Amino acid sequence: MRIEGYGRVDRDVSLDFSFDGRRFAGHPGDTLASALMAEGVVLTGRSFKYHRPRGVLTDTSAEPNALVTVGRGAGRDPNTRATVQELYNGLEARSQNRWPTLSLDLWAVNDLAAPFLGAGFYYKTFMWPRAFWEKLYEPIIRRAAGLGALSGEADGERYEKAYAFCDLLVIGAGPAGLMAARVAAEAGAQVILCTEEPRFGGRLLAEAEEVDGQPGHLWVAGVLARLRGMDNVRLMPRTTVTGAYDGGTYGALERVSHHVADPQGAPRECFWRIVAQRAVLAAGALERPVAFGDNDRPGVMLASALRGYLHRYGAAPGRQVAVFTNNDDGHRTARDLARAGLNVVALVDSRHDAESLAGEVPFFPGWQVCGTQGRRRLSGITLRAPDGRRDVLQVEALGVSGGYNPSLHLTCHMGARPVWRDDIAAFVPPAAHVPGLTVAGSANGAFTTYGCLTEGAEAGAEAVRVLGFRAEVADNIPQANNTPNRLRRLWAVPGRGRAWLDFQNDVTVKDVRQAAAENYASVEHMKRYTTQGMATDQGKSSNVSALAILADATGRDIPETGTTTFRPPYSPIAIAAMGAGGQGAGFAPERFTTSHEASLRRAAPMVEAGLWYRPSYFPVKGERHWRPACDREVRMVRDRVGVCDVSTLGKIDLQGRDVGRFLDCVYANTFSTLKPGRTRYGLMLREDGFVMDDGTTARLAELHWLMTTTTAAAGQVMRHLDWVKQAYAQGWDVRFISVTEQWAQFAVAGPQARDLLNDVLDAPIDNLGFPYMANGAVSIGGTRARLFRISFSGEHAYEVAVPSRYGAALWDLLVARAEALGGGPYGMEALNVLRIEKGHITHAEIHGRTTAHDIGMGRMIAAKDCIGRTMAGRPGLVNDREELVGLRPLAGGTLTAGAHLFAPEADPVRENDHGYTTSACFSPTLGEERALGFLLNGHRRHGETVRLVDHLRGIDTLCEVTAPCAFDPTGGRLRD
């Protein structure tokens, strides 16, 4: 019901919404919870385990009960707290964890079985037979117990991540936060003020209270107007600071467009990383309930929430209400509700010496509420007098207050533990916690408005003074209520019926006592045994009460019992927000060569090589899969000429007087002797002696060198060079920089390679002037270019490089000329076959566990010292190694990569393993399958027969062991 004259919703505008298909109406400014309450809907959900009817408990983000699914389709949003969800026109919400409907939930049979389903039930009952857990018990339990579900489809909504920086981050915008922000901003600091609510003001918007002689919400409006007018203040509503991390970094979730029907492209949520020099935590405090029999009936709420719904939304769950409290604050609820014209039938205060602060309201000092009546909503409460006499009152709503817990969670995110304050019966932040963070107001245990204003101002001033700003506090604190809240602790009312502590996980007082009885006496064990404090609310309304009861049951005091660990996030964050931008192709950058579009025009399928995209083959008419295309491209290169984009290989430009010596250090073989205009193959070792990468380095001029790396290891090699330079070559004249992207480079390979090049080069080359392994400057149409006579295919081949701007044009030119000669472009598949025929290695062979010796290049490191040389000589890296060999089938059959090698007569089991294959292909040149692999002592076993077994693919082939190089072993074709 709505209460006339109360609330700050816009009653002139009506918003339609639905809950479980029923149509309702609310107003702008409502939350889903307040709108449902105003429409008389009290039952909002079913509990996790027993499917008990539950209603709204709080008016905050700590809500354990009123979880709903908002929206439909792929992007539906489960476990949305109705207390946080703002109302918009057309909002569709559905209840969760019920079947078939919320009011008739057949799973509620669990509640009848409750005596058997207490703490530890699953552990005790479903232990055996062991296999039944995963297949039978767990699926059934999961169906019966649970929260809302995702759609299972990809969420098409936009999410976002962002960074922000400030001098002072103020977390919370109640009286303390507003004062901290104002004082710091007036001092000139860059301030970010976050509130998890849509409006700034915190509790001042939910109380009938004066600040500075005016109603609280008007004082808030004044401060806000001032902050809005300052360009050093950033106001972030709907933003929950969720975690404190190293270096003054805070995580925060901004709910950007959950409050509108159509975001029109705006993100749903934004996950912020805020880096703050200083921060003030002014997150307030959360009221805690008192446990008593059947205290989970819909209509039983926190007293502060009952008051909050009245003042904020003009909403109440019924006309007949009562309040049960152990502190003065509960009296304010009774007072305010009575003033609003509700029939407050009882103010029950467990303190026998309490005095009523609620005027005419019937007052029951020393009494307690020990039970409730009703099923799907509250219809009455049972009171017990100090002398044991009982009374039953008809009520529709009951406000309960057991005191307040400061919201100190963030202070514990880096390992600090809160400390117990007996006077307020609550944990407060310890003296030292998160560096740079101070706590002010209720979050610090200051429970009066004046205390909040004062602490906030002081914390704000102190924080920015440390940063060098001049901040004034004196005479700046507005007049406000400063009456302390008196309280006498009461955690649970003894008596019959289940007294609920954790509403979200269905944990009762009895469960906690049971855990203690079974010696789960540490608070962390109790939590895991009972599930208290888990799930979306993380026990915000139950943690302290539960551990107080545990303390009592184990005969310890509360500080000794301690709390469980608070970890980020403070409240739930969608993974979609933290991973924003990372879906699909957004996971990593894509790198494209200059010939990419041309390859796509030829319908070449792309393969990923690191971040690069490279064409795997270039199908021509009639070729329906890769093999015919690959075979054709291989023959084309062997017989005519082929063109391949090799720009993706890493290119590192090195200059300086000490480059030769530097290269001798990083390469296993010698480079300092290389003459300008010549190129050499090199092998690079890791410090541990294993092979890291290979490639060629060209000496372009006396002091100018160009190193190439494999595509995949370009970054690793660059990092390695940086390390070698800083660790071993300090002061040497060596300078290097990546030029991978500067040059578009194309391999031109085949018997007609030189004919093709002479077609496009401004000055022709010949074998004498440009022999194998030569390099030099050339020009194409006046464009400066570099030419290298190197070959991966084993053919007479070159690589020609031009500045990348000309890459696309040169590719088109080379391909057109190649086709005129009966050749054309070739892709990764053909490239791979060509090199397997030649026994050339790739990272399939130098996979991180092979040494120079293993790949037959052991002699390379004999000449001089180099990185990795000493470690390569370790015992175990020298003798009885699996060594690189070639393999061909003896009498047909298939060869695969990843197969294992055995002696022909041996059983193909692990114990008899003699090695494995790394690369395999059909060689169109040789007309048979060929493979490369590593075989125990393989260098000495050429000519032997081995058995290749691929258990995964069911392949068993007898092979002849050969040298790795199967085609043109003398290399005559390279030099023609």
Partner 1 sequence: MTDLIARSPAFGLTPVAYGATTLTEGPWQQLTALMPFAGQTARICTALQDAYGLNFPAPGRLTRAGHTTCVWTGRGQAFLVGSEPVQDLARYAAVTDQSDAWVTLDLTGEQAAEVLARLVPLDLSPRAFGADHAARTLLGHAAIQLHRLENGFRIRGFRSMARTIVHETADAMAAVAARAALD
Nearest approach, Cβ of residue 735 and partner 1 (Å): 4
Decide: is 214 part of the binding site for partner 1 (CB under 8 A).
Answer: no
Mask of contacts with partner 1, 269-308, x by CB under 8 A? ----x-x---------------------------------
Residue 781: closest CA among 754, 756, 802: 802
d(CA 9, CA 673): 84
d(CA 524, CA 526): 5
Q: Which residues contact 678 (CB under 8 A, 6 or more apart)?
A: 698, 699, 773, 774, 775
Decide: is 737 part of the binding site for partner 1 (CB under 8 A).
Answer: yes
d(CA 709, CA 699): 15
Joined together, the tokens standing for residue 230 give: 């300052």
Decide: is 656 part of the binding site for partner 1 (CB under 8 A).
Answer: yes
Q: For partner 1, which is the closer residue by CB, 707 or 965? A: 707
Stretch that binds partner 1, among 218-226, 529-537, 737-745, 968-976 (CB under 8 A): 737-745
Q: For partner 1, which is the closer residue by CB, 816 or 862? A: 816
Q: For partner 1, which is the closer residue by CB, 559 or 656? A: 656
Decide: is 199 part of the binding site for partner 1 (CB under 8 A).
Answer: no
d(CA 921, CA 633): 14
Decide: is 362 part of the binding site for partner 1 (CB under 8 A).
Answer: no
Decide: is 264 part of the binding site for partner 1 (CB under 8 A).
Answer: yes
- Of these, 66, 164, 305, 383, which contacts partner 1 (CB under 8 A)? 164
Q: For partner 1, which is the closer residue by CB, 270 or 490? A: 270
Q: For partner 1, which is the closer residue by CB, 273 or 661? A: 273
Contact in structure between 604 and 618 (CB atoms under 8 Å): yes
Stretch that binds partner 1, among 2-10, 474-482, 649-657, 685-693 (CB under 8 A): 649-657
The dihedral built from the CA positions of residue 891, 897, 902 and 903, taken in this order, carries a sign that is positive
Decide: is 230 part of the binding site for partner 1 (CB under 8 A).
Answer: no
- Of these, 570, 743, 770, 967, which contacts partner 1 (CB under 8 A)? 743
Greatest CA separation found in the chain? Answer: 116
Q: For partner 1, which is the closer residue by CB, 553 or 802? A: 802
Nearest approach, Cβ of residue 588 and partner 1 (Å): 6
Decide: is 733 part of the binding site for partner 1 (CB under 8 A).
Answer: yes
Alpha helices in 401-448 (DSSP H): none
Q: For partner 1, which is the closer residue by CB, 48 or 671? A: 671
Residue 505: closest CA among 472, 451, 543: 543
Q: For partner 1, which is the closer residue by CB, 583 or 767? A: 583
The dihedral built from the CA positions of residue 123, 129, 134 and 138, taken in this order, carries a sign that is negative
- Of these, 735, 847, 859, 953, which contacts partner 1 (CB under 8 A)? 735
d(CA 832, CA 89): 61
The kind and range of the H/E element at 77 are strand 77-81
Q: Which residues in the 803-832 window bind partner 1 by CB under 8 A?
A: 803-810, 813
Counting residues that bind partner 1 (by CB under 8 A) gives 60
Distances (CA, A) of 452 to 136, 189, 211, 442, 446: 54, 21, 12, 6, 6
Decide: is 742 part of the binding site for partner 1 (CB under 8 A).
Answer: yes
Nearest approach, Cβ of residue 737 and partner 1 (Å): 5
Nearest approach, Cβ of residue 257 and partner 1 (Å): 6
Q: How distant is the alpha carbon of residue 139 from its chain centre?
A: 27
Stretch that binds partner 1, among 73-81, 261-269, 338-346, 791-799 (CB under 8 A): 261-269
Decide: is 739 part of the binding site for partner 1 (CB under 8 A).
Answer: yes
Contact in structure between 677 and 776 (CB atoms under 8 Å): yes
Distances (CA, A) of 844 to 401, 837, 933: 68, 15, 10
Stretch that binds partner 1, among 82-90, 158-166, 428-436, 664-672 (CB under 8 A): 158-166
Stretch that binds partner 1, among 53-61, 515-523, 588-596, 620-628 (CB under 8 A): 588-596
Residue 712: closest CA among 830, 585, 844: 844
Nearest approach, Cβ of residue 605 and partner 1 (Å): 18
Decide: is 224 part of the binding site for partner 1 (CB under 8 A).
Answer: no
- Of these, 52, 335, 591, 973, which contacts partner 1 (CB under 8 A)? 591
Place of tokens 């709420």: 301
Nearest approach, Cβ of residue 267 and partner 1 (Å): 5
Decide: is 75 part of the binding site for partner 1 (CB under 8 A).
Answer: no
Stretch that binds partner 1, among 460-468, 496-504, 507-515, 652-660 (CB under 8 A): 652-660
Q: Which residues contact 785 (CB under 8 A, 6 or more apart)?
A: 777, 778, 779, 800, 801, 802
Nearest approach, Cβ of residue 650 and partner 1 (Å): 12
CA dihedral 657, 658, 660, 663 (to 10 degrees): -140
Decide: is 160 part of the binding site for partner 1 (CB under 8 A).
Answer: yes
Decide: is 589 part of the binding site for partner 1 (CB under 8 A).
Answer: yes
Decide: is 592 part of the binding site for partner 1 (CB under 8 A).
Answer: yes
Joined together, the tokens standing for residue 915 give: 């090695």
d(CA 358, CA 342): 13
Decide: is 760 part of the binding site for partner 1 (CB under 8 A).
Answer: yes
- Of these, 780, 830, 920, 961, which contacts partner 1 (CB under 8 A)? 780
Q: Which residues contact 697 (CB under 8 A, 6 or more apart)?
A: 663, 667, 671, 674, 679, 680, 682, 705, 706, 707, 708
Q: For partner 1, which is the closer residue by CB, 149 or 162? A: 162
Nearest approach, Cβ of residue 263 and partner 1 (Å): 7
Decide: is 347 part of the binding site for partner 1 (CB under 8 A).
Answer: no
Q: For partner 1, which is the closer residue by CB, 586 or 971? A: 586
The kind and range of the H/E element at 756 are helix 753-760
> Residue type at 542?
S
Decide: is 740 part of the binding site for partner 1 (CB under 8 A).
Answer: yes
Nearest approach, Cβ of residue 259 and partner 1 (Å): 9
Nearest approach, Cβ of residue 685 and partner 1 (Å): 25
Nearest approach, Cβ of residue 657 and partner 1 (Å): 8
Residue 944: closest CA among 908, 905, 917: 905
What's the half-sphere exposure (Cβ side, CA atoms, 13 Å) at 718? Answer: 16
Nearest approach, Cβ of residue 410 and partner 1 (Å): 22
Decide: is 594 part of the binding site for partner 1 (CB under 8 A).
Answer: yes
Decide: is 732 part of the binding site for partner 1 (CB under 8 A).
Answer: yes
- Of these, 158, 527, 680, 786, which contacts partner 1 (CB under 8 A)? 158
Q: Given the DSSP bridges, would you call strands 928-936 and 915-923 parallel, antiparallel or unpaired?
A: antiparallel
Alpha helices in 437-508 (DSSP H): 449-466
Stretch that binds partner 1, among 330-338, 423-431, 547-555, 800-808 (CB under 8 A): 800-808
Stretch that binds partner 1, among 74-82, 162-170, 325-333, 539-547 (CB under 8 A): 162-170
Q: In what order do the strands lie in the sheet with 300-302?
A: 300-302, 397-401, 320-325, 343-349, 363-365
The kind and range of the H/E element at 369 are strand 368-374
The kind and range of the H/E element at 652 are strand 650-655
Q: For partner 1, which is the closer residue by CB, 165 or 916? A: 165
Joined together, the tokens standing for residue 308 give: 């909050």
Residue 757: closest CA among 742, 778, 740: 778
By CB under 8 A, name the binding residues for partner 1: 158, 160-165, 190, 256-257, 260, 263-267, 273, 275, 581, 586, 588-594, 611-612, 653, 655-656, 731-733, 735-743, 760, 762, 780-783, 802-810, 813
